[in-house]
Amino acid sequence: MSLLFEPVALRGLSVPNRAWLAPMCEYSAEDGLPNDWHLVHLGSRAAGGFGLVLTEATAVVPEGRISPQDTGIWNDEQTAAWRRIVDFVHARGARIGIQLAHAGRKASTFRPWSPVQGSVPVPDGGWPTVGPSASPYPGYAVPAEMTPTQVADVPELFAAAARRALEAGFDAVEVHAAHGYLLHQFLSPLANTRTDEYGGSADGRSRLVEETVTAVRAAWPDELPVLVRVSATDWRDDGLTVDDVAAVAGRLGRLGADLVDVSTGGVAPASISVGPGYQVPYARRVREVSGLPVSAVGLISEPAQAEQILVEGSADAVMLGREALRDPYWPLRAAHALGEKIGTVPVGSGVGTQPQYSRAQWR
C-alpha cells in the first residue's frame, strides 16, 4: 500500500487515508448558516475519497467572521445545519473536522468576488473590528485594541464553539492560528505591540493561543483530536520564523494538540517565493522540532509528489486546496496513479470511499 492511502490514527480517530481537504472559505453563507453549497462542496470531496475534510474558517462569534458571508457555529441553528453536512460526509466513509476561527483585525471584509471592493469594515452588514493592538492590516480599518477582559474571554469562545461542534457530530476541531487572523495576530510581533501579559516577549505573545488550545482540549472528548493551523513564517525578517512557531507547536502538543496543520504567511504583506510544495520544508521543520504529526499544504497537486512528501518524512498527511477545487475526486485519480484500489468497500466501513465509483480504479 502506498503511504498516501495508509490509514492514520489521531487519538481514537482513524482517518482512512492521508489525502485531506484543506479548509477553504466559500463566502456563501447567510447569518453564518452553512447551506446546500457547503453540503455539495464538502460532500463531493468526501465522495471523491478524501480521508478527512475540513470546513472553511468557521467563526466562533459573529464579529469573528472574515466576511458577512462566512459560516459560524455560535448558535443552535448553525449547529443543526452543520449536523446535516456532517452526517452526509460520514455516510460517504470520510471523517470531517471544523476549523474554528476569529478573524480579528482582518474581519468584516468584502468577499473576493464582490463587485464592490474598498475600505473595510464593509459598509453594508459589517462591524467594527478588534485586534491585539490598534494597528491595522495595511489597507484595512484601524481595529480597536482588545481590553484585557476581551482577551481573557477568547479561549471560552473557542471552547463553546467546540462543544457545539461535538453536538453537530464533528470528528475533529482545528484551532485557526494562521493566515493573519486573531490568534496569529497575537503570536506575531508584526501585529502585537501590547505591553501586558499577552504581548512583549515570545512567551507573552503565545499566551492566548496556548490558553485557547487548553480550553478547547478541555471541552473536546479525550478520544478525539485537536488540530492547530499555524503560519510557520511571516516571510519577513521582523516577523515570526519557523523555529519560533515550531517552539510554540511543541508547547501546544504538551497542552493537548494532536497535529499541526502547517501553512505560512498572512499577517502582513510580504514577498513569497511560490512553487510546487513551497511550504513543505516548513512542515518538516515543525515536525522535527515539535515532535508532533503535521500536515503539509501548498501547491501539492500530483499523486507522486504527495506520496514523496510522506515517504521522506516531511509530513504525516497532505492537504489539498486549489487542486481539490479543480478535481473533487483527486484521491480516486491518485489511487489509480499509485496502483491502489479504493472505492470497493461498503460505505461506512472506515476505509475506501463509494462503491459507486469503484470503476475509477480501472482504465
pLDDT in tens, the chain (363 residues): 799 999 999 999 999 999 999 999 999 999 999 999 999 999 999 999 999 999 999 999 999 999 999 999 999 999 999 999 999 999 999 999 999 999 999 999 999 998 877 656 787 788 999 999 999 999 898 999 999 999 999 999 999 999 999 999 999 999 999 999 999 999 999 999 999 999 999 999 999 999 999 999 999 999 999 999 999 999 999 999 999 999 999 999 999 999 999 999 999 999 999 999 999 999 999 999 999 999 999 999 999 999 999 999 999 999 999 999 999 999 999 998 998 876 543 334 344 456 676 666 555
Q: 3-state class of 103 per DSSP?
A: coil
The pLDDT, as a whole number, for residue 352 is: 46
The span from the CA of 178 to the CA of 101, in Å, is 10
| Structural domain contains residue 353 | no
Identify whether 241 is part of a domain: yes
Which of 68, 63, 62, 60 is CA-nearest to residue 110?
68
Domain extent, residue 261, equals 3-336
361 inside domain? no
Using an 8 Å Cβ cutoff, are 91 and 347 in contact?
yes
- Cβ-in-10-Å burial (0-12, 13-18, 19+) of 12 comes to exposed
Catalytic residues: 181
Cell of 55: 470546513
**Closest-CA residue to 73 (of 160, 153, 178):** 160
Give the Å distances, CA to CA, from 25 to 105, 209, 299: 17, 22, 17
Answer yes or no: are the C-beta atoms of 338 and 305 closer than 8 Å. no
Asked if residue 346 is part of any domain, the answer here is no
Tell whether 113 is covered by a domain.
Answer: yes
CA distance 302 to 327: 12
Of the candidates 2, 92, 1, the residue with the CA atom closest to the CA atom of residue 48: 92
The CB-side HSE value for 114 (13 A sphere, CA atoms) comes to: 17
Please say whether the beta carbons of 185 and 267 come within 8 A: yes
Q: Where are the alpha helices (DSSP H) in the chain?
A: 36-47, 76-91, 148-168, 182-187, 202-219, 242-254, 280-290, 303-311, 322-326, 330-337
Run of H or E residues at 233: none
Tell me how far apart the alpha carbons of residues 247 and 14 are, in angstroms, rounded to a whole number.
27
Dist. CA 155–CA 241, nearest whole Å: 25
Neighbours of 2 (CB within 10 A): 19
The answer to whether position 236 is within a domain reads yes
261 within some domain: yes
Query: In the prediction, which pLDDT does 358 show?
Result: 65
CATH code at position 324: 3.20.20.70
If you search the block for the grid coordinates 453536512, which residue do you land on?
A: 85
Q: Does residue 345 sit within a domain?
A: no
Domain count, the chain: 1
Q: How far is the first Cα of the chain from the last one, in angstroms, to the nearest whole number? A: 19
Q: Measured between alpha carbons, how far is 257 from 246 in angstroms, rounded to an integer?
A: 13
235: left (phi over 0), alpha (psi -120 to 50) or beta: left
